[in-house]
Amino acid sequence: MDNLTLEQKKAQFEEYFMIAHGINVNVTPCKEDFELPDVENLETAMPNAFRIASEMATIEAQALRPLRHLSDHAETLAEYLNHQARKIDLMMSFILHQQDDEKYRYQTSKFGGGGVVITSKSPMNIGDNVELKVFLDSEAAAIFCFGEVITCDQEQDDYHIAFIFNRIREQDQELLVRASLHIQTQQLRKRAKDKKS
């Protein structure tokens, strides 16, 4: 990705589905001399809470997978374990929200698997690298990654700034895609319900 032109980055950003939805995201500018970690070494740059949450999610998925192949006798056990997993998810969500720094907090206007768009009172320079913490309340999860400013458009008194993810783990990108589709499903159901009312 580092060798792509700005136009190629914008095209890659547009390849992913984006949903217009507000979620909290921390945007911390990187220092000019900061070197982005390789994707393989991204976990070493992550705050500990994000690493632990990721490992717990992986363990949970591996633990529940074998139960799907059991007969109906395991349905009650699977339900119980799903409730336990949900409790752990909620606790991890609480812990991850302690990482949310109000000083760097913005609301997204759109987000998806390719990046996020925020609204800001101040502009940012195209090409600037930032550290991103994306908080997904709907999934009781949060994602740590790095992004790069690819657009900064002024609209009235605000700036709409788009960041492409330039260092993100594959499983976190998949989580963002699932979260955006999940929110879209909820929005469509609400719209259908509102039409019937």
Domain ranges across the chain: 11-32+41-196
pLDDT band at residue 64 under the 50/70/90 scheme: low
pLDDT given for residue 68 in this prediction: 65
More confident residue, 124 or 63: 124
Taking 80 as the threshold, does the pLDDT of residue 19 lie above it? yes
Taking 80 as the threshold, does the pLDDT of residue 89 lie above it? no
pLDDT given for residue 168 in this prediction: 95
pLDDT band at residue 73 under the 50/70/90 scheme: low
**Averaged pLDDT, 39-68:** 78
Span 11-32+41-196 CATH architecture:
Beta Barrel (2.40)
pLDDT given for residue 5 in this prediction: 93
pLDDT given for residue 69 in this prediction: 66
More confident residue, 189 or 93: 189
pLDDT given for residue 143 in this prediction: 92
Least confident span in 55-64, 100-109, 135-144: 55-64
In b/e form, how buried is each residue of 146-176, taking b as 16+ CB within 10 angstroms?
bbbbbbbeeeeeebebbbbbbbbbeebbebb
pLDDT band at residue 157 under the 50/70/90 scheme: very high
Q: Which two tokens stand for residue 14?
A: 């547009």
pLDDT band at residue 71 under the 50/70/90 scheme: low
What DSSP state is assigned to residue 37? P
Least confident span in 10-24, 46-60, 120-134: 46-60
Taking 90 as the threshold, does the pLDDT of residue 119 lie above it? yes
pLDDT band at residue 51 under the 50/70/90 scheme: confident
72 contact partners, CB below 8 Å, separation of at least 6? none
Taking the model in full, what pTM does it have?
A: 0.84
Taking 90 as the threshold, does the pLDDT of residue 196 lie above it? no
pLDDT given for residue 7 in this prediction: 93
* Distance separating alpha carbons of residues 52 and 169, to the nearest angstrom: 14
pLDDT given for residue 61 in this prediction: 65
* Distance separating alpha carbons of residues 15 and 31, to the nearest angstrom: 29
* Distance separating alpha carbons of residues 126 and 174, to the nearest angstrom: 26
